[in-house]
Amino acid sequence: MPWHRKDLLDLQSLSAEEILTVLDTAREFKAVGQRPIKKVPPLLGKTVVNLFVEPSTRTRISFELAAKRLSADVINFTAEASSLRKGETLKDTARNLEALRVDFIILRHSAAGAAHFLARVLAAHVINAGDGAHEHPTQGLLDLFTIREKLGRIAGLKVTILGDILYSRVARSNIWGLQKLGAQVTLCGPPTLVPRAFESLGCRVVHDLEEGIREADVINLLRIQHERQRRNAFPGLGEYTSLFGLTRQRLTELRPGALIMHPGPINRGVEVDSDVADGEWSVILEQVTNGLAVRMAVLYLLNGARAVAAAPA
Amino acid sequence: MPWHRKDLLDLQSLSAEEILTVLDTAREFKAVGQRPIKKVPPLLGKTVVNLFVEPSTRTRISFELAAKRLSADVINFTAEASSLRKGETLKDTARNLEALRVDFIILRHSAAGAAHFLARVLAAHVINAGDGAHEHPTQGLLDLFTIREKLGRIAGLKVTILGDILYSRVARSNIWGLQKLGAQVTLCGPPTLVPRAFESLGCRVVHDLEEGIREADVINLLRIQHERQRRNAFPGLGEYTSLFGLTRQRLTELRPGALIMHPGPINRGVEVDSDVADGEWSVILEQVTNGLAVRMAVLYLLNGARAVAAAPA
Amino acid sequence: MPWHRKDLLDLQSLSAEEILTVLDTAREFKAVGQRPIKKVPPLLGKTVVNLFVEPSTRTRISFELAAKRLSADVINFTAEASSLRKGETLKDTARNLEALRVDFIILRHSAAGAAHFLARVLAAHVINAGDGAHEHPTQGLLDLFTIREKLGRIAGLKVTILGDILYSRVARSNIWGLQKLGAQVTLCGPPTLVPRAFESLGCRVVHDLEEGIREADVINLLRIQHERQRRNAFPGLGEYTSLFGLTRQRLTELRPGALIMHPGPINRGVEVDSDVADGEWSVILEQVTNGLAVRMAVLYLLNGARAVAAAPA
């Protein structure tokens, strides 16, 4: 299917066909990553800016590598070293980057909607690399890619997302993507982090770990991010781990062949034990490999998109 | 006109012909920036080091992109991550870079004269990206480029530089460049920031905004840099804005077709209102685009310069 | 001699033949550094990650430049901006990098043995860029290269390493490399920093400067690193300088043609006077030039090594 979007902002607005186009394209790029020479020329002469207003070395490196393997030039722009400290607005920063005729802006930002805002005011391609608690679409796509590759399909699968759903952009992108491709999504965790309101998105909400994972084909663990949790919504770490931490013992309740996924970085001994994270059920490192392929696919597809005029700001 | 200089250190020592050579070359590179493939090969195999001892993400990115579009390899070296913290001198750092056979050093430094010093002790090409309150020659050149492109000429124009002249390297580079090309320069701002002494440089000094901008073909606004101002020389921000902030209302006093310029980043609501900065008089974003073309031109010209032996240290 | 190692971790485990292979290869790459176009294609399409958990701008830049001159793509990953802050282990970070199919990891780390650990768990090539007080093998190799180039041989030379031996990875790599190639090593400094125990490595230990340097063909000065010294083991700076600082006056006791070396950055006026560091005995800047050639040689040789399967973690 031909690709027509200027930007990748979320999975909510993508069709199932568009998602499949990314996954199919990523499969080609994954094969490139197995070669001794992993560099291909599609983005030669193009400029990609990693605009990370919120730090994330892993995601930045995955995008940087994806762009470089496509032969683009990459500029890293992190907020800590930037004029954003001097009170400049995101809009001014982005317009300045566009005045430099950069072709892609990859934005990580603490504010939900930041990438959508940039996409509206800029002619450059914008990729959302995580905006507040809203979405993290390339993470959702790489999770879909991994599930499809390992289990052969997505439709009809039972996928449990486990942890802090309320504040998770990874959860949101997964929910949209999985449902569009026909999976059944269960959200599992303590009531303060997994409110019933998510049922309105079509998900099953469960507050008991055993019930949440028993039937699952896939368990997608979320990172417990101490730094971001609201104090009164979050139980103590020890309590969370005793109720929802994935231990080897609890794996005995899983269906054979179920996948353990995690977007990383892992808190070993908190949301997952080391022997589970490193064990035979885990596809966590394959997710990293697939993330690179998915990001190459997204850059490649956006680059081929017909130019879309930026709306007036 | 052939280019013979090893370094670009200031506009004070350039001839009008040399300045015009840069502007004409930049016009060619601006055209390159409009192409889908913006990369050209002149600096292939050359190494450019961005040595930024004082932070400036915008200027760093503009130079980084200029160098990469010319196919150079770029190394970023910021003071915060560097051995300069360990007490190493600038000279030792620079000599080490030269021992690595780097071809260009782009220096941003808080000390006036730092780039001149490096240029004397190194065989590498040195570009001054701002040295204290002394000069910022590529900013001056891009301002000249923008004026010439928009108004068709520079000779005979009336240009008002508005703001903190006393501490501004942008002002100094503009004053030299504009006068060499035949413009009349007015400096405007409060007496503590625009002392009469500047009249000795051939400028008109005015302490009233209305008088300063009434006849101007170009108004070049300077950023008010709170962090750098001497406390007793600088009025309160609110007072500055009420007396010298450029509001839409005050634009009514301008000549038709006058340009509003600003080196960025803008303090919206301080030295300029948002609707002025984003309005039809403003060429602020074109300055950013032109800055990239000017920096490509400077790198290109210096690269072609005949090798000049470094003087003994 | 063909090269068979996957990693460069230390000089202790290299044979004299392997060391000579690196030095001979580096000689070829030094010649490349003299050309106007210094870029060669062997690592095209390969990815090199500079994983610097301990800051070192100089070493990072030398490796970055070496990799870029071999046409590799380089990703910089410093701990300060990384998820290591979030409590991720080095092993997780490294495995994630490997999942991205990076080809080389260059590791600077405060823990002795960190590079060996990574080399065991990863299929990627690992280069030790300094691990705690253990080894800094490329520094040792560039020192050997410089001595051989300037004096024509290493066997039979008398080399004095002067300063804080106890905490120095540079000293350890030098001791191993020099002895393997047949030099006689003297360690000189105050007893708290140069304990007699080093005699068991085959070195002569001397606590008097004059005695330490009188017969030397080479004096390799170590940086006094205030920040790392144990308080009670280290005399005051002034006392150190008066007893062991290399002044022009003390040079009169040296043999004619002796070399003064230093790994940098120099503390001028502490372990060495400025006129000695910049004088005719000094080869300090040549060491920097040679370091680049040595690092190109190491990357080149490892890249050609037959793939070695990673051991199970």
- Encoding tokens for residue B99? 């021992």
Contact flag A288-C99 (C-beta cutoff 8 Å): yes
pLDDT of residue A84: 58
pLDDT of residue A231: 59
CB contact at 8 A, C167 and C225: yes
Closest CA to B104 of B159, B154, B49, B22: B49
Q: Exposed, middle or buried by CB within 10 Å (0-12, 13-18, 19+), for A68?
A: buried
pLDDT of residue C308: 38
Contact flag C58-B96 (C-beta cutoff 8 Å): yes
Please state whether the peptide bond connecting residue C190 to the residue before it is cis, i.e. omega within 30 degrees of 0: no
Q: What is the mean pLDDT of residues C136-155?
A: 98
Tell me the pLDDT band of A313, cut-offs 50, 70 and 90.
very low
In the β-sheet with C125-131, what is the strand arrangement from edge to edge? C73-78, C47-52, C104-109, C125-131
pLDDT of residue A308: 38
Backbone phi and psi for residue B182, each to the nearest 5 degrees, phi listed first: 95, 10
Interface confidence (ipTM) of the complex = 0.90
H-helix segments, chain B: 16-32, 57-69, 90-99, 114-121, 137-151, 169-180, 209-213, 237-244, 248-251, 274-277, 284-304
B313 touches chain C (CB under 8 A): yes
Please state whether the peptide bond connecting residue B42 to the residue before it is cis, i.e. omega within 30 degrees of 0: no
- Encoding tokens for residue B172? 């100094």
Checking if the pLDDT of A56 tops 90, the result is no
- Note the pLDDT tens digit of each residue in C85-127: 555 688 888 899 999 999 999 999 999 999 999 999 999 999 9
User: How does DSSP assign B198-264, residue by residue?
Assistant: GGGGT-EEE--HHHHHTT-SEEEEPP--GGGS-GGGS--HHHHHHHH-B-HHHHTTSPTT-EEE--S
Distance CA C198, CA C214 (A): 20
**Residue with more model confidence, B113 or C78:** B113
Contact flag A100-B62 (C-beta cutoff 8 Å): yes
- Encoding tokens for residue C50? 């500079």
- Please name every residue paired with A290 in a beta bridge, in sequence order, or none if there are none: none
pLDDT of residue B311: 35
What letter represents residue A278's amino acid? D
pLDDT of residue C214: 95
Q: What is the mean pLDDT of residues A199-223?
A: 96
Q: What is the mean pLDDT of chain C?
A: 91
B264 touches chain A (CB under 8 A): yes
- Please name every residue paired with A272 in a beta bridge, in sequence order, or none if there are none: A246, A268
Whole-prediction pTM value? Answer: 0.93
Nearest CB to A57: which of C73, C83, C95? Answer: C83
Tell me the pLDDT band of A230, cut-offs 50, 70 and 90.
low
Return the beta strands (E) in A157-295 as ranges.
Answer: 158-162, 184-188, 204-206, 218-221, 259-261
pLDDT of residue B237: 83
Checking if the pLDDT of B308 tops 90, the result is no
| CA trace torsion A59, A61, A64, A69 (10° rounding) | -110
Name the DSSP class of A126: E
Sign of the C-alpha dihedral computed for residues C147, C148, C150 and C153 taken in this order: positive
Distance CA C198, CA C175 (A): 10
What letter represents residue B274's amino acid? S
Distance CA B138, CA B56 (A): 14
The CA distances from residue C81 to A59, A114, A216, C126, in Å, are 12, 22, 36, 21
Backbone phi and psi for residue B223, each to the nearest 5 degrees, phi listed first: -70, 135
Crossing angle (nearest 10°) for helices B90-99 and B114-121: 40
Backbone phi and psi for residue C219, each to the nearest 5 degrees, phi listed first: -120, 115
Distance CA B246, CA C40 (A): 53
Q: What is the mean pLDDT of chain A?
A: 91
pLDDT of residue A293: 98
Name the DSSP class of A34: T
Contact flag C265-B77 (C-beta cutoff 8 Å): no
pLDDT of residue B82: 53
Closest CA to C298 of C23, C56, C16, C12: C23
Contacts of B96 in chain C (CB under 8 A): 58, 264-265, 285, 288
Pair type for strands A125-131 and A104-109 = parallel
The CA distances from residue C179 to A163, B9, C174, C194, in Å, are 57, 49, 8, 18
A39 touches chain C (CB under 8 A): yes
Checking if the pLDDT of C237 tops 90, the result is no
Pair type for strands C204-206 and C218-221 = unpaired
Q: Which of residues 151-210 of A touch B (CB under 8 A)?
A: none
Using alpha carbons only, give the angle C83, C85, C88 rounded to the nearest 5 degrees.
60
Distance CA B249, CA C259 (A): 72
SS3 of chain C: CCCCCCCECCCCCCCHHHHHHHHHHHHHHHHHCCCCCCCCCCCCCCEEEEEECCCCHHHHHHHHHHHHHCCCEEEEEEHHHCHHHHCCCHHHHHHHHHHCCCCEEEEEECCCCHHHHHHHHCCCEEEEEEECCCECHHHHHHHHHHHHHHHCCCCCCEEEEECCCCCCHHHHHHHHHHHHCCCEEEEECCCCCCCHHHHHHCCEEECCHHHHHCCCCEEEECCCCHHHCCHHHCCCHHHHHHHHCECHHHHCCCCCCCEEECCCCCCECCCECHHHHCCCCECHHHHHHHHHHHHHHHHHHHHHCCCCCCCCC
- Note the pLDDT tens digit of each residue in C283-292: 999 999 999 9
Backbone phi and psi for residue B92, each to the nearest 5 degrees, phi listed first: -65, -45
Q: What chains are in contact with A, requiring at least 3 Cβ pairs below 8 Å?
A: B, C
Checking if the pLDDT of B151 tops 90, the result is yes
Name the DSSP class of B97: H
Distance CA A186, CA A208 (A): 11
The class of domain A138-288 in CATH terms is alpha beta
In the block, tokens 């301080």 appear at B270
- Note the pLDDT tens digit of each residue in A139-163: 999 999 999 999 999 999 999 999 9
Q: Taking the CA atoms of chain A, what radius of gyration do you get in angstroms?
A: 19
**Domain covering A16-136+291-304 in this structure, CATH number:** 3.40.50.1370
Checking if the pLDDT of A2 tops 80, the result is yes
Checking if the pLDDT of C50 tops 60, the result is yes
Q: Exposed, middle or buried by CB within 10 Å (0-12, 13-18, 19+), for C312?
A: exposed
CATH architecture, domain B137-288? 3-Layer(aba) Sandwich (3.40)
- Note the pLDDT tens digit of each residue in B41-77: 999 999 999 999 988 889 999 999 999 999 999 999 9
Q: What is the mean pLDDT of residues A216-224?
A: 95
- CATH 3.40.50.1370 domain range(s) in chain B: 16-136+291-304, 137-288
B303 touches chain A (CB under 8 A): no
- CATH 3.40.50.1370 domain range(s) in chain C: 16-136+291-304, 138-288
Distance CA A311, CA B59 (A): 28
- Note the pLDDT tens digit of each residue in B80-93: 645 555 556 888 88
**Alpha-carbon gap: C78 to the closest alpha carbon of chain A (Å):** 9
- Encoding tokens for residue B74? 């770029």
What letter represents residue A208's amino acid? D
Question: Could you count the other beta carbons within 10 Å of the beta carbon of residue B197?
Answer: 9
CB contact at 8 A, C184 and C159: yes
B47 touches chain C (CB under 8 A): yes
- Note the pLDDT tens digit of each residue in A245-266: 999 999 998 999 999 999 998 9
Distance CA B312, CA A301 (A): 55
Name the DSSP class of A308: -
CB contact at 8 A, C55 and C78: yes
Contact flag C101-A292 (C-beta cutoff 8 Å): yes
Checking if the pLDDT of C70 tops 70, the result is yes
A38 touches chain C (CB under 8 A): yes
- Encoding tokens for residue A101? 């005729």
Nearest CB to C87: which of A38, A58, A267? Answer: A267
**Alpha-carbon gap: A164 to the closest alpha carbon of chain B (Å):** 35
Provide the b/e sequence for A250-267 (b: ≥16 CB within 10 Å).
bbeebeeebbbbbbbbbb
Contact flag A289-C101 (C-beta cutoff 8 Å): yes
Q: What is the mean pLDDT of residues B199-228?
A: 91
**Residue with more model confidence, C254 or C81:** C254
Backbone phi and psi for residue C281, each to the nearest 5 degrees, phi listed first: -85, -20
Q: What chains are in contact with B, requiring at least 3 Cβ pairs below 8 Å?
A: A, C
Tell me the pLDDT band of C193, cut-offs 50, 70 and 90.
very high
Which of A198-207, B234-243, B301-310, C53-62 is predicted with the least confidence, judged by mean pLDDT? B301-310
Contact flag A61-C75 (C-beta cutoff 8 Å): yes
